[in-house]
Structure 1
Amino acid sequence: MTTRMSTLLSRDGGRSTRRLAVAVLLGLVAAGILTGCSVAGNEANSWLASKPIVESTELRLTGCEALCDPRVEGTIADDATEGDVRALVQDATSYLADSTADGLRISLNYHNVTLSVGTDAQQAEQDADLVFTVLHDDRVESAGLGWDVPLVYTAPATMTAVFRDYGTEVPVAVMATESDEHGAFMLVTDDGRPCASTGLLLAAFDTLITDPAVAGVDLSVCRSLAVTIGDSTGREPMLAHLQPLAADPALTGITVEILQDYQAKIVLTGGAVAPTP
């Protein structure tokens, strides 16, 4: 076996040896990158785990083929007091503000809310206020806060009411709870400011989500309304239903679409049917 291996190496001019050496070198480099990148993550993970109200933590490395961007996630004990949670949010904010690590993020799970912590102390206080507002709102099943657009899950029947309460001043995305049997419903603000079409579109949204022929509704207030139907038999009835809405002068500039299998089939512009690609 040794003789055969030596013969093979000599035949390829040592290319196998060089390939092996390169593979080993790349492995060492990757390990070095991983170690260097994960130092900040390990430190943040240890720091968060040391907090008395934190029950568990998890470190994840994302981006660059999982070799950088450490993300630390901590789960807060259910019996933690509001004061303790607010203090932890501020501490985590200060930790990130002082950190020089690129891509380091900290998120906190508390009951049914996940908060992505930032670096601004004033924003952290506002985020903490929203956390406890959501926690005391029985309509909210779960929420992801601290992102550019907060995400709130609720039952379809309460989506527009929750949207009105949370999305009139700041951007927000309201989604039907994943466990709901009705389908995929999503309601999003564009910039947090209501427009002339808001009330009309919200009323249409409430009607559409109760229609058994509708599999999903995606409403981006002041921009677009996309209705997904279950099968082709619902296309004409839905077209008849949506044409008057699309023709309303208050919806000028709003794109209204009818989709099947989440692919655009009909686009309405000013009530007229526009061809799809």
Structure 2
Amino acid sequence: MRFFSLPLAAKTKAAHPCGPKPHRGYSYIGQEKLSKVKDYEKGNRDAVEVYDVKVSILAPTSSSFSLRATIGLTWFLQESFDQGPVRDELYPNRWPDEDDIPNFRAFMERLYERCHQIHQQILQALALGLGLGLAFFRDMCDHNTSELRLNHYPGCEAAILHKGAKRISEHTDFGTVTLLFQDSVGGLEIEDQDVPGDYFPIPFENKAEMIVNIGDCLQRWSNDKFRATSHRVVLPPGSSDAWVRDRYSVAYFGKPNRSQVVGTLPELLPDGAKSKYSNITTWEYIDEKLSLTY
């Protein structure tokens, strides 16, 4: 990824703020701690205890990336770039200088719009499959506040991951569905929903493959009929080398309108069943979770 190859000074021109909002721009390694929202929708609101391990993340040969850090086992070894819609008066995007990386902004805005179209198509297909109107979910997400994220997991010594550190901790995504694209390095795992706590690898198949994960808001809307996909990135299976290569991925986090209620929808609640989720807005719900991660 050209963006992550930039010098740190160039990347931090688009720096994510110190706090949880706005979720925009460049986040350095360790800035976001998703371990703190692990099992959030399973009822666990306690932050995961962090054990510090002294590690050195250094490229084996000359490289633009060189970092020495103290990293907790439940922190993740990742840097990222986040953007939202082209026009968002509340949370405007943060961009690197055009001179540092020409055409980056234009390309990312086109990619964001294409992912938005796919998100809407998936929501329409889901509504049809449930016997609801074509626009049932789509209209709840028509004022787009979704986020597009670029992820870079820098190369590191395999021993760091053997000790239990993760490239990204177990977590579920906040929104409706996530569109995920990964490279061939490996390490992505998802939880077996029939055996909680057991994770299995999702191998890279080809560059055109798109993984679709269910998010927390869809789980809440459906009263757990659709369950959010817990996932993580760990040491790639079968790794025998001392050095684990850089890994890149792209994720589009589909989200409902900010004013949309994300409690259980009456249309998806079986007769006589009790709603498991309160009627808070998307804004309130995501703010609650973001406040734990930054």
Q: Which protein, 1 or 2, shows the higher relative CO under an 8 Å CA cutoff with sep ≥ 6? A: 2
| TM-score clears 0.5 | no
Q: Which is richer in helix?
A: 1
| TM-score, structure 2 as length reference | 0.20
Higher strand share: 1
- Greater C-alpha radius of gyration: 1
